[in-house]
Structure 1
């Protein structure tokens, strides 16, 4: 194998596939990056058997030559060393050549590295998915839906299913739900689908985080293929595979209250900043709790008291308060995460009592909802 390639394109592809390479793997060859050169271009693959990422660098794009293939072939190179080498090469052009016994030479300018390679034939094959059932989502919408839900997945392995985001596709609508049993994030949107199939799968939160980092904002659409145990995201020159979590996701529809006793409308940014200030003295471990109470004239008081540090009281003017007076306590971190995920300048918060879950959503927007369980302090 021998080819000459633009360094910046190689660096970008290596960084993309590195997101799937794990140092802790039971299959030693998966600590490497697989590189295959064909007459069309160069394909790089990284995998940790949960996530696999394939990045393709074409020979030319928009009339510019990116890769010149001298001899097709394949090799697996240690990801840790290969990624560091390509980042630090001196010139904009890199030559990669595989010699006898999988010895690989990387040349750029006056620099020459020799790396021991591994046989690409031993690298596990990527899943072959039948692509009958594809739906398409605009890239910016997909990234927004991930950002607005993935933070609420559980970080505890006691219930593995909760470490993922539940994706449902029904009648041209995608619904994403994440919960760690103390809070819940919900987002739905219309998607382009070619058939009426419906899906109900759970995608690991870790996979969605990596996908979001790697997707280019310039892409127009991402095609998504779902099978029994895998999901594939296809963008231009990029394939991102993730395994799905096994098991049934809990029915979360019962958690969302249908009625409310107190409704409050607040400016999202002002409220977020007040919670942030109140949490300054409530950062310690489990005491990250702020108290929220309604006062007269539409004022909301936000306070926090940590005996050994001090206390803080803050007030926010609401746009309206309807219903019963309220005193409630909740995690400042959960509230700040939820408010950052909401879009829109104003937020409506609906309470059904001091010890019942409450939810919030942007004013006049049913497509996104954040739910939080309160903390018992009163």
Structure 2
């Protein structure tokens, strides 16, 4: 194998596939990146057996030569060293050549590295996927769906299914739900070409986080292929495979209250900043708990009190408060996480009592639902 490649494209592809490589694997060869050169171009592959990423660099694009293929072939190189080397090479082009017994030479300018490679035949094959259930989403919408839900997945392995985001596809819509049993995030969006499809899968939160980092923020369509135990995201020159979580996701529809006792409409940014300030003295305490109570004249009182540190009280002007008086305590972190995902300048918070879950929406957009369970404070 021997080729000459543009350094910036090489760096980008290596960075993308590195997101799937882990040092904590039981399969030693998976600490490497597989490089395959064909007449069409060069493919880079990284995998940790849960996530696999394949990035392809074509020999030419829009009439420009990006890779000059001198000899086809493949090799596996230690990801940690290879990724650091390509980032620090001096010139705009890089020559790679595999000599005898997997010895690999990397040249750029006056710098020459010799790396010991591994046998590419030992590298596991990527999953073979039947393209039956496919849907298309613009990259920027997919990134938004992930951002508005993935933060609420559980980080505890006691209920593995909750470490993923539940995707339900039905009636031409996708419904993404994440919960760690203390809070819930849900986002709905219409999708093209799935009017007659109906299925549900749970994608690991870790996979979606890594996918989101790789995707460009544009409206290019991403093909999503779903099988029994794998999901494949296909972007231009990029394949991203993830295993799916096994098991049944809990029915969360029962958690979301249908009526409310106290409705508050408030300016998102002011509310978020007040919670942030109150949390400064709450961090050391139990669960960084902040208290909210309705006071007269359309104000909310936000406070926190940690006896050994001090206390803070702030009043926030609302647009409206309807219904019963309310005193409630909740995690400042959960509230701030939820508020940061909402679009629009104002939000509506629907409370159903001091010990019941409450729901937050953007004022004019019911597509995003954030739900938080309050904290008991005695």
TM-score normalized by the length of structure 2: 0.99
Q: 1:51 to 1:287 in 2, by over 3 A?
A: closer
In structure 1, distance between residues paired with 2:191 and 2:328: 38
Q: Is the 8 A contact 1:287 1:306 kept in 2?
A: no
SS at match of 2:14: helix
Partner of 1:301: 301
Deviates more, 1:262-271 or 1:187-196: 187-196
Residue deviations 1:22-70 (CA, integer Å, cap 9, x gap): 1011111000000000000000000000000000000111221100000
User: What is the aligned residue count?
Assistant: 378
In structure 2, distance between residues paired with 1:193 and 1:22: 36
Q: CA deviation at 1:298?
A: 0.6
Stretches of structure 2 that go unaligned for 5 or more consecutive residues are none
Q: Is the 8 A contact 2:173 2:194 kept in 1?
A: no
SS at match of 1:193: coil
Residue deviations 1:119-149 (CA, integer Å, cap 9, x gap): 1111000001011221011111110110000
Partner of 1:255: 255
Residues 1:117 and 2:125 are matched in the alignment = no
In structure 1, distance between residues paired with 2:190 and 2:197: 14
Residues 157-176 of structure 1 correspond to what in structure 2 (within 5 A)? 157-176=157-176
Residue deviations 1:68-94 (CA, integer Å, cap 9, x gap): 000010000000110011011111110
Q: Is the 8 A contact 2:288 2:331 kept in 1?
A: yes
SS at match of 2:365: coil
Residue deviations 1:254-280 (CA, integer Å, cap 9, x gap): 000001000000000000000000001
Partner of 2:32: 32
Q: Is the 8 A contact 1:39 1:69 kept in 2?
A: yes
Stretches of structure 1 that go unaligned for 5 or more consecutive residues are none
Residues 1:353 and 2:353 are matched in the alignment = yes
SS at match of 1:142: helix
Q: Is the 8 A contact 2:40 2:59 kept in 1?
A: yes
What is the root-mean-square deviation in Å for CA atoms of aligned residues?
0.9
Q: Is the 8 A contact 2:188 2:367 kept in 1?
A: yes
Q: Is the 8 A contact 1:148 1:341 kept in 2?
A: yes
Partner of 1:210: 210
Partner of 1:374: 374
Residue deviations 1:283-314 (CA, integer Å, cap 9, x gap): 11524001000001110000000000000000
Partner of 1:236: 236
Give structure 1 regions of 4+ aligned residues with deviation exceeding 4 angstroms. none
Partner of 2:291: 291
SS at match of 1:10: helix
Q: Is the 8 A contact 2:302 2:314 kept in 1?
A: yes
In structure 2, distance between residues paired with 1:195 and 1:111: 56
In structure 2, distance between residues paired with 1:120 and 1:85: 20
Q: Is the 8 A contact 2:170 2:195 kept in 1?
A: no
SS at match of 2:57: strand
SS at match of 2:297: helix
Q: CA deviation at 1:193?
A: 2.1
SS at match of 1:82: helix
In structure 1, distance between residues paired with 2:129 and 2:29: 23
Q: Is the 8 A contact 2:229 2:243 kept in 1?
A: yes
Partner of 1:191: 191
Q: CA deviation at 1:364?
A: 2.0
